[in-house]
Structures are given as C-alpha cells and as structure tokens.
Amino acid sequence: MRMVTEWSRRITDSVETVFFGKHEVIEKLLVALLCRGHVLLEDVPGVGKTILARALASSLGGEFSRIQCTPDLLPADILGVSVYNPNNGSFAFREGPIMANIVLVDEINRATPRTQSALLEATGEGQVSIEGKQRKLPEPFFLIATENPVEFEGTFPLPEAQKDRFLLSLTVGYPERETEQHIMESQRRLTHPVNDLSAVTDLSGIPELQKQVVSVHVEQSVMDYMSALVEASRSHQHVRIGVSPRGTLALYKASQALAAVRGRDYVVPEDVKELCRPVFEKRLIMASQAVIRGITADSVIASILDSTPAPVLPDPNRGSMR
C-alpha cells in the first residue's frame, strides 16, 4: 500500500499549506475519493468548507468546477443543454459544470428538490441523463457538497435518499487558537493562498490506487463487528430507520481505504470505529420522541460504539493479517 500512502501524503501536505489544523478531515476526503464515493461537508459558515474543497481540487489536478446553488438554479444549469445554432439550423450540446473530475456543489440545500435530484444519478451511477440520452461522467468523478445547517430561510433540506448517496458526512469544526492565528498571518496578502496551489499528482493514476484499496484484507471478525454495529443502529430504541445496506457497504469500503492511506493492507477495528460516525450520522432517521427529547444521531452512534464489543485481532504488529 506504499503507493496509496505516498499519494495521500503528497496531497495532504499540499492542502495543509493553505488549510490548517484539520488533517483528519483531509484524510477522510481522500478516503472517499479512493472508494469512488462522494462527501457532504456540513458545518457553520466561515470555517473553510469551500477553501478545503478548492485546495483539494487544485492539489489533485484535473478539471474542476464549482456550482453555487441558489433557489432559481435549474437542472439544465448543472447537467447541460442543447443550444440552437441559427447559422446551420442544428443543435449543439453544451456541457454543464457536472462534467468535470472534481465538482464542488456549494450550499446544496439552497437548491430546490428538483435541482437536487439532478445530482442523484451523477453520484450514484457515474452518469447523467440529458434529453433522453445517457452521458458518462469523467473518470475519476468526485463530488463534494457543502451544506450550512444553521440557516433555514431559503433552504431545502436534503431528502434521506440523497443523503444516503454520500459515502461520508464530515464537519470541519472551529480551529484551535494557535491555528486561527496562523490563518490570520497567512492572509496578509491581496489574494488567498489557495490560488497559488498546483497539482501534485496525476489524476490518471487514481484508478490504479482505487484497485489497490479493494484488495485490502478484512478479517471475518472485523466484518462481524461492522454487521453488529449496523444491526444495533436498526434496533436502537431512539432510531426509526437504521443504516441501510448501502451504509454497510460504505463502512466496509471506507475502512479499507483508511487502512491503505495509513500504510496497512488490512483493516483493524479502530478504522471501523473512526469511520462509524461519518458513515452513520446522515443515514439514521431518529424517532419522533428522541427528536423531542433532544437526542441526536451523534449520541446514538456513541452509545452503539460503547455497547458493541470490538474484536481483538491476533498479532496486530504484523505487516499483513493474511
């Protein structure tokens, strides 16, 4: 897994030159990319969600596009549309911003449900249907959506079906005091430092890295642990609908990718524990009584982890579990 580890280190080092103190968040973004998944970044305004996405896109290279969601945004504005050419009387298809390698969908909850649904096929199938024709998206295709959870006027909450399409849901959080001072010092210039970033990898090599991730070994006891966590979410007293089979697969794949990023060719229970929250949180639909009592999905996940015993793998210092 040396190639995966070295690749992730180069990208992380590049992003951290402009986005400070959030190594774990950057790592999780790379995990999603290696799994051919997508990420929902949800946090309060001003913590750097857009800058993080731009920094990652610049470091990865390839074609990048940004979609700023507004209530008047139409599906055709994202997917593309045929434009009539009066000179020859023909129609020419003009691709929308979705036809890029890395797509940032900023403030996705400001788009109407009709426009949000245009992203479902893209994130789930790697293609879009336009004017009755299916068009393949570029390879690799990685979508990062940001969402502001504190504003409700002029927003449209994502439906559960669309939340389930995201492999991981991440929060950035506030920086530490020293990190925030570092941010202030780095801004003593006319333009943002993210504008100076350039690609440190070649996108053409990502498919091979994704193949390597699939080969990461998962012990049967670790698979049993994942299944136990998922089953606990479905039977929890405060949960109306638990984690779907798609969520189970997301936990499995993300654990493989996290192990590879950290230089291992096998998954350990700590990988599963670390990814449980970003995989589970948006997939849990809380019971009405729990919502009234202020019980959150985060607290439910914590109780599930506490009550589900993790397996102890033999000889954890070995280079391979196979």
What does the alpha-carbon distance between residue 16 and residue 253 come to, in Å, rounded to a whole number? 25
* Cβ-count burial 173-186 (b if 16+ within 10 Å, e if not): eebeeeeeeebeee
Average pLDDT of the segment spanning 263-287? 95
Mean pLDDT of 294-315: 91
Rounded distance between C-alpha atoms, residue 165 and residue 116, angstroms: 12
Amino acid code (one letter) for 195: N
- Residue of higher predicted confidence among 198 and 273: 273
Statement: residue 22 has pLDDT above 80: yes
3-state secondary structure 254-293: HHHHHHHHCCCCECCHHHHHHHHHHHHHHHCEECHHHHHC
pLDDT tens digit string along 285-304?
999 999 999 999 999 999 99
pLDDT of residue 203: 85
Q: Containing H/E element for 305?
A: helix 297-307
The torsion defined by the Cα of 207, 211, 213 and 219, in degrees rounded to 10, comes to 160
**129, β-bridge pairs:** 134
How do residues 33-70 score in pLDDT, each as one tens digit?
999 999 998 888 888 888 898 899 889 887 889 999 99
- Tokens 């993300």, residue located: 254
Contact (CB, 8 A) for 238 and 286: yes
Tell me the pLDDT tens digit for each residue of 114-127.
888 888 778 888 88
- Position 27 scores a pLDDT of 96
* Token code pair at residue 186: 């780095």
Region for 35 from its dihedrals, namely left if φ exceeds 0, alpha if ψ lies in -120 to 50, beta otherwise: alpha
Closest CA to 238 of 178, 303, 194, 192: 303
**How far apart are the C-alpha atoms of 168 and 279, rounded to whole Å?**
5
User: In whole angstroms, what is the distance from residue 308 CA to residue 310 CA?
Assistant: 6
pLDDT above 90 covers what percent of the chain? 53
Mean pLDDT, rounded, for 234-261: 95
Query: What does CATH list as the number for 1-207?
Result: 3.40.50.300
pLDDT category at 320 given cuts 50, 70, 90 is: very low
Amino acid occupying residue 233: S
Alpha-carbon gap, residue 41 to 26, rounded angstroms: 11
* Sequence-separated (6 or more) residues with CB below 8 Å from residue 1: 212, 216, 259, 260, 263, 264, 265
Query: For residue 189, what pLDDT is reported?
Result: 83
Rounded CA-CA distance 84/110 in Å is: 30
Euclidean distance between CA atoms 169 and 163, whole angstroms: 9
User: What integer pLDDT is reported at residue 144 of this predicted model?
Assistant: 92
Residue among 165, 172, 163 nearest 26 (CA): 172
Residue 307 has pLDDT above 80, yes or no: yes
d(CA 205, CA 221): 32
The topology under which CATH files domain 216-308 is Helicase, Ruva Protein; domain 3 (1.10.8)
Q: Are 322 and 266 in contact (CB under 8 A)?
A: yes
Q: Count Cβ atoms below 10 Å from residue 153 Cβ, excluding itself.
A: 4
Confidence (pLDDT) at 3? 92
| Rg of the chain in Å (alpha carbons) | 21
pLDDT at residue number 151: 62
Q: How confident is the model at residue 316 (pLDDT cuts 50, 70, 90)?
A: low
Average pLDDT over residues 8-21: 93
Domain ranges in the chain?
Answer: 1-207, 216-308
The model's pLDDT over 125-156, given as tens digits with 9 standing for 90+, comes to 888 888 778 888 998 899 999 887 766 666 78
- Enter the tokens of residue 310: 């993790």
Tell me, rounded to whole angstroms, the distance of Cα 97 from its chain centroid.
Answer: 18
Q: What is the mean pLDDT of the chain?
A: 89
Over residues 192-208, the mean pLDDT reads 88
Q: Do 1-207 and 216-308 fold alike per CATH?
A: no
Predicted local distance difference test score (pLDDT) of residue 233: 96
Condensed to tens digits (0 to 9), the pLDDT of residues 157-184 reads 887 778 888 999 999 889 899 988 988 9
